[in-house]
Structure formats: structure tokens, C-alpha cells
Amino acid sequence: MKTGRVLIDGEVIQDFRFDVSGKTRRNMGYEEWRVSFVANNSTTMLSFTSTTPHTRYGPVIDNVRVNSCGC
């Protein structure tokens, strides 16, 4: 199990986990996850961190997209 955290301006927005059973480097088993937030400033820092204990390897993150809601 790999676990991680999504942060906006250093604040935790969502924790996530991914079961790596049966996954390989050729078949990573990517899943789509969505996180919604509202930026309160003209610049906002989006970051990801691993919370997987006792390993050098955390979750793999790919194809991150940030969209405007047009609000």
C-alpha cells in the first residue's frame, strides 16, 4: 500500500492510498483521482507528499492537471 497527501499552500486537502498488489513498472495500474479546491490568492502552491512509512519509494503521480472553474 502506498499513501500520500495533497496540499494546497501547505494545508492538507486530501489523503490518498493506492494498493500496489500485482502492479509492476510496466503495468502501474494508474487510477484517476480528483481533488477540488478554491484558490484564495492569485498564486497557489499545489504539492504532493508521500506518507508511506519505512520506504524510499512513495506513490507515483502522473498527468496532474489544474483547471479553472470559471467562477
pLDDT digits (tens, 9 = 90+) for 18-29: 999 999 999 999
| Rounded percentage of the chain residues whose pLDDT exceeds 70 | 97
Cross-strand partners of 8: 11, 46
Give domain limits for the chain.
1-71
pLDDT for 71: 63
* Nine cell digits for residue 18: 493506492
Q: Does the pTM exceed 0.75?
A: yes
Distance CA 66, CA 58 (A): 22
Number of other residues whose CB lies within 10 A of the CB of residue 41: 7
pLDDT for 39: 86
pLDDT digits (tens, 9 = 90+) for 31-48: 998 998 888 888 999 999
Q: Does the structure show a pLDDT above 80 at 57?
A: yes
Residue with cell 499513501: 3
Residue with cell 502501474: 28
Segment (H or E) for 17: strand 11-18
